[in-house]
Amino acid sequence: MSVLVVVLILLFLFFLSAVRILWEYERGVIFLLGRFYKVKGPGLILVIPLIQRMVRVDMRTVVMDVPRQDVISRDNVSVKVDAVVYFRIIDPARAIIQVENYYDATSLLAQTTLRSVLGQHELDEMLAEREKLNADIQAILDTQTDAWGIKVSNVEIKRVDLDESMIRAIARQAEAERERRAKVIHAEGEMQAAEKLFTAARTLSQQPQALLLRYLQTLIEIAGDKSNTIVFPVPAEILELLQSAHDRRPATGEPS
């Protein structure tokens, strides 16, 4: 009777050691006598002790911070870049068999790819075209990690840090650019004003009556000033215009 009890206990312990429970986001890569057997899970599975071995694989998306990298841009500017990579395992068997440590391998590959891609661009492109750079890095990583059963879904460049001297140089460049634009805008305004004045002067020269009305309007504006003494010249064209108007008056028989 005692032998039967011992056997039952051993069988129970053997069963307990063979039972594995995998969560919904987990898969178990089973090896049979050292050779790949199958992928199991999720739920309750049995792994025969001493004959089979299981390696758990997490299928959820992994958020991996890429350590800060020193990058020299194409225009020889040294910057420090932080990035984050989002990836997940789509083939548990290849992730375990094809690479020793898929997380470390992906991290090192992301670092080298980040330096390589950013080193081909100038500083202005790093600061202004992050979406394009993110897409380029993501495409390269996704292609190279496909053999490991890994899908790189997204890459984000978090920060691009410059040293103080470069920040001051960029600030001076931006200030010079603003001054250049202001001078260009001012010159364009002067040119447009000159064109309008030239057009107005040509129109007035063709219409003597309009010139006279403009002159009288100017006198009215001056008369509204608080000054007691007003000295104004009378252009010869105005005198000639008045004289011609006087000459055209009909004769009334009275001395003028």
> What domain range includes position 24?
8-57
72 and 41, same structural domain?
A: no
Domain boundary among 162, 191, 221: 162
21 and 80, same structural domain?
A: no
Asked whether residue 34 is assigned to any structural domain, the reply reads yes
Across 4-8, 57-61, 69-73, 162-166, which has the greatest mean pLDDT? 57-61
Give the pLDDT confidence score for residue 195 in this predicted structure. Answer: 83
> Regarding predicted confidence, which is higher, 230 or 244?
244
89 and 106, same structural domain?
A: yes
Domain boundary among 162, 179, 195: 162
CATH number at residue 156: 3.30.479.30
* Residue 143: both structure tokens together: 């292609």
Give the pLDDT confidence score for residue 202 in this predicted structure. Answer: 73
Give the pLDDT confidence score for residue 256 in this predicted structure. Answer: 44
CB within 8 A of 159, min separation 6: which ones? 80, 81, 82
The conformation of residue 122, written as its DSSP 8-state character, comes to -
pLDDT above 80: residue 248: no
* Residue 215: both structure tokens together: 């002159």
Rounded to the nearest integer, the mean pLDDT of the chain is 83
Do the Cβ atoms of 133 and 121 come closer than 8 Å?
Answer: yes
How many angstroms from the chain centroid is the CA of residue 135? 12
pLDDT above 60: residue 137: yes
Tell the residue number behind the tokens 């395992």, with chain if given. Answer: 89
Asked whether residue 195 is assigned to any structural domain, the reply reads no
- Percent over 90 (pLDDT), the chain: 45
102 and 30, same structural domain?
A: no
Asked whether residue 180 is assigned to any structural domain, the reply reads no
87 and 26, same structural domain?
A: no
pTM of the complete model: 0.65
pLDDT above 60: residue 253: no
* Residue 223: both structure tokens together: 């008369």
SS3 146: helix
Confidence of residue 227 (pLDDT cuts 50, 70, 90): low
pLDDT above 70: residue 254: no
131 and 107, same structural domain?
A: yes
The conformation of residue 230, written as its DSSP 8-state character, comes to -
109 and 89, same structural domain?
A: yes
93 and 30, same structural domain?
A: no
Instruction: Show the DSSP H helices in the chain as ranges.
Output: 2-18, 92-97, 102-118, 123-128, 130-145, 164-206, 208-223, 236-247
79 and 157, same structural domain?
A: yes
Strands 43-46 and 78-89: unpaired
pLDDT above 60: residue 29: yes
Confidence of residue 7 (pLDDT cuts 50, 70, 90): confident
* Residue 51: both structure tokens together: 């004959």
Asked whether residue 242 is assigned to any structural domain, the reply reads no
Number of structural domains, the chain? 2
70 and 147, same structural domain?
A: yes
74 and 136, same structural domain?
A: yes
Which stretch of 3-17, 189-203, 207-221, 230-244 has the lowest confidence by average pLDDT? 230-244
Asked whether residue 201 is assigned to any structural domain, the reply reads no
